[in-house]
Amino acid sequence: MTKRRKLHRLISPGGMLCILIITLLLVFAFPLHARAATIVVNTTGDVRAEDGQCSLSEAIIAANTDTASGVTPGESSAGSGSDVIALGAQTYTLTIGGVSEDSGLTGDLDVTTNLTINGAGLAQTIIDGGGLDQVIEVMHNVNLSLNGLSIQNDFGGFSGGISNEGLLTLSGVSVSNNDGIGIGSAHDWANRPLYPAVDLINSIVAGNTSTGIHSFNTTLVLDQSIVDGNQDGGIFASESVTIVDSTISENSSSSTGGGIAIINGYSDVIVRSTINGNTATGDGGGIYFWGFTVWEKTTSF
């Protein structure tokens, strides 16, 4: 007897009808309009107006609001749920000043709903903040995935190249040469108990004029990544830190923890990693920690 005949013997005609009804209910409960849209940016300019071109800032607003940037051909199509923005092998420089604005109209790129931005490679696709503001801001409880691109040239404030209160995943990404912190991730106490997270895979945070990664009450993971040559410590972290197959090198601090400073940490693990050439005027040139930190013997100093 075939498997199909066995199945028909196990499910009565009434049972089959029930399965059909449940399937139809599921289709209507999760309509197709929740699927992601892919928005292709077609200009490196930073015009946020209906000019027949889709800028990066317009694409992010269209993804945030699920609304097209205009009706003129060439404008950004509407997003749909968790969207994908595609960038070419170009440098996209922000040129509209105006800090402390969170709708993406001026200054930085504000990400308010789940989003993926794909570049052509970290040496090929560059998002340059123009020294105007932080470059990207990820809002509370929002997922942002960046793949194959570089973030550079923020304006020198505390927030840095990327300011994160959500769930930030970087794969093949460089956050370097910012005039301030590379990645700043902090817990918003008004939104407890949801904590932000930063996950770097095969990525680099280097040459920032302040701390490379400032991770306050954030779950931080580095996998096959490099934190190098940052000027106010490589990593400052509280909460959980996991570093695997990574290098923390040549960072300097005017206080404690040249390479890594972990305060109030727990479940912190450093495995098969290299921590060398870091300096601090206070304690802990390589690592300063207060809490429960464990690293494997295969980590070298």
Name the site residues for Ca ion (rule: CB under 5 A): 51, 53, 58, 63, 66, 79, 83, 102, 108, 110, 113, 137
Least distance CB 60 / Ca ion (angstroms): 9
Give the nearer residue to Ca ion in terms of CB position, either 38 or 113: 113
Q: Which residue bears the tokens 């404690």?
A: 256
User: Measured at CB, which residue is nearest to Ca ion?
Assistant: 79
Give the nearer residue to Ca ion in terms of CB position, either 19 or 49: 49
What the block records as the tokens of 5 is 């005949």
Cα 296 to chain centroid distance, Å, stands at 28
Give the nearer residue to Ca ion in terms of CB position, either 113 or 293: 113
Return the half-sphere exposure (C-beta side, CA atoms, 13 A cut-off) of residue 35: 6
Give the separation between CA 236 and CA 238, rounded to whole angstroms.
7
Least distance CB 158 / Ca ion (angstroms): 13
Strand extents, DSSP E, 51-203: 83-86, 91-93, 109-111, 115-118, 126-128, 136-138, 143-152, 162-164, 167-176, 183-186, 197-201
Give the separation between CA 122 and CA 111, rounded to whole angstroms.
20
Sign of CA pseudo-dihedral 212, 165, 49, 124: positive
Sign of CA pseudo-dihedral 48, 53, 57, 58: positive
Residue count of the chain: 301
Least distance CB 249 / Ca ion (angstroms): 32
Residues 6+ apart with CB under 8 A from 16: none
Give the nearer residue to Ca ion in terms of CB position, either 48 or 246: 48
Least distance CB 215 / Ca ion (angstroms): 19
Give the separation between CA 181 and CA 152, rounded to whole angstroms.
11
Give the nearer residue to Ca ion in terms of CB position, either 110 or 250: 110
Least distance CB 195 / Ca ion (angstroms): 21
Least distance CB 56 / Ca ion (angstroms): 11
Least distance CB 102 / Ca ion (angstroms): 4
What is the signed CA dihedral for 247, 249, 254, 257, rounded to 10 degrees? 40
Least distance CB 52 / Ca ion (angstroms): 7
Whether omega before 193 lies within 30 degrees of 0, making that bond cis, reads yes
Give the chain's radius of gyration (CA, Å): 23
Give the separation between CA 167 and CA 210, rounded to whole angstroms.
22
